[in-house]
């Protein structure tokens, strides 16, 4: 089954398949393969969440146990950055980002992903990763003001007032960097696999596909880690 994805790539000629794949139009808006894949991921997460929480028990088992293990793992990860209290407070946002990005990255490893209409890794499109990074940017500003009030804006003129332009630029560069890092790695992995299959159709692309599992996790981890750092800095009370 691993070969099916690469076979589609070789047959299609590689890079031409990586443009926008418009499937249909709703109210004047184009619906692409990335969009339908996101719908599928959201539906999957909704179903799993319902099944895991519909009959919760004090001693978890089955899917509830898996979900609680995942949530505890994310909290433990975030606690090392922002403390346990804030980790739990911002878990809904940061945990959702991590899980969504992880599954989106892994959707690109499915047979035929990127070359079957309606199935393409959302994170292989810069519009999607830029949208996720924009959410982080807006959330950072919102949580900063909510937690610290107008004192939040004090850091824009620190350590000296003439740093104001640079500090403002830094705030806007952060989401750009987040989006490009995630997009570049996911898109690049897809292109490398397609290129390797075109050159050597057997055996060689498989290690890259397996590495895609590792890279997919690392990119979700890094994105969430940086988002947690940004929110932690914005909500930190300085004495």
Q: How many CA atoms lie within 13 A of 23 on its CB side?
A: 14
Which SS3 state, helix, strand or coil, does residue 56 take? coil
The percentage of the chain sitting over the pLDDT mark of 70, rounded to a whole number, equals 83
The pLDDT of residue 196 is: 66
Q: Can you state the angle between helices 91-107 and 62-82, rounded to 10 degrees?
A: 120
CA–CA distances in Å: residue 2 to residues 20, 113, 205, 215? 23, 11, 9, 17
CA–CA distances in Å: residue 69 to residues 57, 61, 75, 80, 82? 14, 11, 10, 17, 20
CA dihedral 64, 67, 72, 78 (to 10 degrees): -160
pTM for the structure as a whole: 0.83
Q: What is the pLDDT of residues 105-132, one digit of tens each?
A: 998 877 777 777 888 889 989 999 999 9
Query: Is the sign of the CA dihedral 100, 101, 106, 107 positive or negative?
Result: positive
Q: Flag the least confident range among 35-39, 71-75, 159-163, 195-199.
A: 195-199
Strands (E), the chain: 22-26, 29-32
**pLDDT class for 191, splitting at 50, 70, 90?**
confident
- Ranges 6-10, 23-27, 202-206, most confident: 23-27
The pLDDT of residue 5 is: 41
Q: What is the pLDDT of residues 28-56, one digit of tens each?
A: 888 888 899 999 999 999 999 998 888 87
């Amino acid at each position: 089954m691993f070969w099916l994805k690469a076979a589609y790539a070789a047959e299609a000629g590689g890079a031409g398949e990586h443009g926008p794949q418009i499937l249909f139009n709703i109210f004047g808006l184009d619906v692409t393969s990335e969009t339908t894949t996101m719908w599928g991921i959201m539906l999957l997460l909704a179903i799993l969440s319902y099944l895991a929480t519909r009959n919760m028990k004090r001693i978890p088992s089955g899917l509830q146990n898996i979900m609680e293990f995942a949530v505890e793992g994310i909290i433990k990860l975030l606690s090392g950055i922002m403390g346990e209290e804030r980790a739990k407070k911002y878990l809904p946002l940061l945990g959702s980002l991590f899980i969504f990005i992880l599954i989106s990255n892994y959707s690109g490893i499915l047979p035929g992903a990127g070359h079957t209409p309606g199935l393409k890794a959302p994170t292989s499109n810069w519009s999607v990763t830029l949208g996720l990074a924009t959410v982080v940017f807006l959330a950072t500003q919102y949580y900063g003001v909510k937690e610290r009030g107008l004192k939040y804006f004090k850091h824009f003129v620190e350590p000296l007032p003439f740093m104001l332009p640079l500090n403002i630029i830094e705030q806007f560069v952060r989401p750009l960097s987040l989006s490009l890092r995630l997009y570049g790695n996911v898109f690049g992995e897809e292109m490398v696999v397609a290129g390797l299959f075109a050159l050597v159709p057997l055996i060689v692309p498989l290690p890259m596909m397996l590495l895609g599992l590792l890279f997919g996790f690392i990119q979700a981890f890094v994105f969430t880690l940086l988002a947690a750092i940004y929110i932690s800095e914005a909500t930190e009370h300085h004495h």
